[in-house]
Chain A
Amino acid sequence: MSKLTMIEALNLALKQEMEKDDMVVVLGEDVAVDGGVFRVTDGLLEAFGEKRVIDTPLAESAIVGASIGMAACGLKPVCEIQFSGFSYMTIHQLENHAARLRGRSCGRFHVPLVLRTPYGAGVRALEHHSESKEIYYAHTPGLKMVIPSSPRNARALLVSAIRDPDPVIFYESKANYRAFREEVPDEEESQPIGKAEVVREGKDLTVISYGAMLRRSLEAASQLEQEDGVSAEVIDLLTLSPMDDACFCDSLEKTGRVVVVHEAHRSFGAGAEIIARLMENSLLYLEAPVGRATGFDCTVPLYAREQAYLPGVDRIVRICRETLSF
């Protein structure tokens, strides 16, 4: 066990998977000599050489498009898009090819690539460096969408993503990259994609969140306990697609009330899908409308105002109280 940041934990996952499997290659802008602008790929070039740790030209569509060809032809590419705000030029490659090659070729080809990219607000960055557009990917059949929340689950999920036979979009929260350390086992560890986790048990209310907003949700839960005597259950979704609806439907059936927390825009966000599944599966257990503590439906403002955009602990607590008092 070592206490690692999320960056160090991701680095450990890459290093161990590359040691195990020669077909794993890493590619992207500045990933080799520089070790990635956030240092997630630090030291990989020295360990595995330039054929496996590839500084590509500055061309996002090429990074993903070439990864698709590599993946279809036996490699397991882990590509990095430096910031998720620059990933939109790759969506046509993901939608048209990564997500469809298995179907188009009736199973002859499949695309075991991982697209890692830092997302989210809260690090005082420039424009285009603060968005959360996970829904673009979660809405696309054929892709999987994973968003870890801590060093340990980031490492374990990245290992699973690399081994997954289908394309996985792996969103890494910049706000969590160096925010805290966590014990991460030195030996191999993976955890299944498509499984949510109850990270705090409770009986009065269920808070569902993921990524950087998970810690805020946990803080809100503690505050509700201290100030209101409310016992809130908190669920870490971890995978957006395929979504583990059984986990949160079970929780609703216990608590009767739900609040969804995400930093992505509210309309058509993950919350909307979660609410739809709660309604479909467990409507009669609902004692109040499901609350949504989310980013607003406006472009993420520059950093002087980004905290006002993000759902803070106060916003989460307020919406939980509205749901509880309905």
Chain B
Amino acid sequence: MPKEALDPGIDLHKLSILNESGEVDKDLEPDLSDERLLRMHRAMVWGRQFDERMLKLQRGGRMGTFAPIKGQEASQIGAVSALEDEDWFVPSFRETAAEIWRGKKPEDILLVYAGYNEGGAIPEGVNNFPVTIPVGTQTLSAAGIAYAVQYQEKPQVVMVFFGDGATSEGDFHEAMNFAGVFTLPLIFLCQNNQWAISVPLKKQTRSQTLAQKAVAYGIPGIQVDGNDVLAVYAAAKEAADRARENEGPTLIECVTYRMSLHTTADDPSRYRTEEEVEAWEKKDPISRFQTYLMGKDILSEADLDSMNEEIKQEIEDAEKKWKEKTEDLTDPLVMFDYQYDTLPPYLKRQREELEEETSG
């Protein structure tokens, strides 16, 4: 009766293609057109600028609380750029750049954070799930969507976003297990940004990596440099291809950093040092990608300047649309819309009550 070593049959790797200085590993470099690379770069810069602008709007009292994405642009754009339009995108609450890539209008994002439910509307045919706030719960929605897609034999895959904190939630483990058992076409995309509000990763888990949590569920797991957009894309593409071939789910851990606040209600100086933030700023996902693109001679300083101006203008346009939309949204009775398919009698009475109250 010997004591034998067990082999779970799963190898764990860490993938990095573009280093901090913007040098690329030629063997691993994904085959992406110049046009696609520039589109990814623009989306990352767009996300960063929009984030900065939203922070100003919030600080100026013109918008409510939101969760900034600064530092996580590569994890988001690398991942969603590996999806096809008809695939499913299931976000948590810190995926603004990914949401915009998936077609969400920035004015609608502003609308939600300014307190209007209407910003959450999703057009028919767009396979995006709404933002989910309760941590980790959306992983199970995604498992159900993946089951439905598989059952209906649609050629779609599902990508669900969550953070390092979510890997402590039961729902995450239940979703990984469920997806593994049923070989679902699902990509678990973890943005490990090192902090769950004030709690660092080492207090979240004793595991050396989050990727290794896949081992327990019999599914592939991979850790990638989450500030390396090429590595994130390559890992996500491979996972999507596998899912599409009915080879089941994958866990991708993007090692990144939340350079900004948890939300605008947060004060990170209470729990982390400036030195730590500065060290991560050197690993900035956008600057290394720009170095790479300039090295390929497909981006110049002049291009950057004009792009920044364009984006600034586009954000201004979005703000204008946001304000125009807000002017039309004065009716509080909409709170009764979409409660049920058909409003039951007691709710009709309550709606009438509010109508009388507000008609003066």
Whole-angstrom distance from the CB of A203 to the nearest CB of chain B?
26
In the complex, A289 has a CB within 8 A of chain B: no
Q: Does B145 contact A141, Cβ atoms closer than 8 Å? A: no
Q: Map CB proximity to A onto B136-171 as digits: 1 under 8 Å, 0 otherwise.
A: 011111111111110110000000000000000011
In the complex, B247 has a CB within 8 A of chain A: no
Q: Does A242 contact B344, Cβ atoms closer than 8 Å? A: yes
Chain A stretch 32-84: residues in CB contact (< 8 A) with chain B = 51, 56-57, 59, 61-62, 64-75, 77
Given A101-B130, A108-B122, residue A62 in contact with residue B143 (CB < 8 A): yes
Interface size (A, Cβ < 8 Å)?
A: 46
Chain A stretch 202-225: residues in CB contact (< 8 A) with chain B = none
**Which 4 A/B pairs are nearest by Cβ-Cβ distance?**
A69-B144, A65-B140, A242-B344, A73-B148
Chain A stretch 82-98: residues in CB contact (< 8 A) with chain B = 89, 92-93, 96-97
Q: Does B346 contact A61, Cβ atoms closer than 8 Å? A: no
Q: Does B170 contact A61, Cβ atoms closer than 8 Å? A: yes
Q: Does A65 contact B344, Cβ atoms closer than 8 Å? A: no
* Majority secondary structure, B binding face: helix
- CB-defined contacts of B139 to chain A, threshold 8 Å: 65
- CB-defined contacts of A107 to chain B, threshold 8 Å: 121, 337-338
Closest to A277 in B: B346
In the complex, A185 has a CB within 8 A of chain B: no
Interface size (B, Cβ < 8 Å)?
A: 44
- CB-defined contacts of B122 to chain A, threshold 8 Å: 105-106, 108-109
Closest to A142 in B: B339
Q: Does B345 contact A242, Cβ atoms closer than 8 Å? A: yes
Q: Complex formed: what's the CA distance from A284 to B145 in Å?
A: 52
In the complex, A263 has a CB within 8 A of chain B: no
In the complex, B238 has a CB within 8 A of chain A: no
Q: Does A102 contact B121, Cβ atoms closer than 8 Å? A: no
Q: Does A66 contact B346, Cβ atoms closer than 8 Å? A: no
Q: Does A74 contact B152, Cβ atoms closer than 8 Å? A: yes
- CB-defined contacts of A74 to chain B, threshold 8 Å: 148, 152
Q: Does A66 contact B140, Cβ atoms closer than 8 Å? A: yes
Whole-angstrom distance from the CB of B268 to the nearest CB of chain A?
27
In the complex, B260 has a CB within 8 A of chain A: no
Q: Complex formed: what's the CA distance from A142 to B339 in Å?
A: 5
- CB-defined contacts of A305 to chain B, threshold 8 Å: none
In the complex, A129 has a CB within 8 A of chain B: no
- CB-defined contacts of B271 to chain A, threshold 8 Å: none
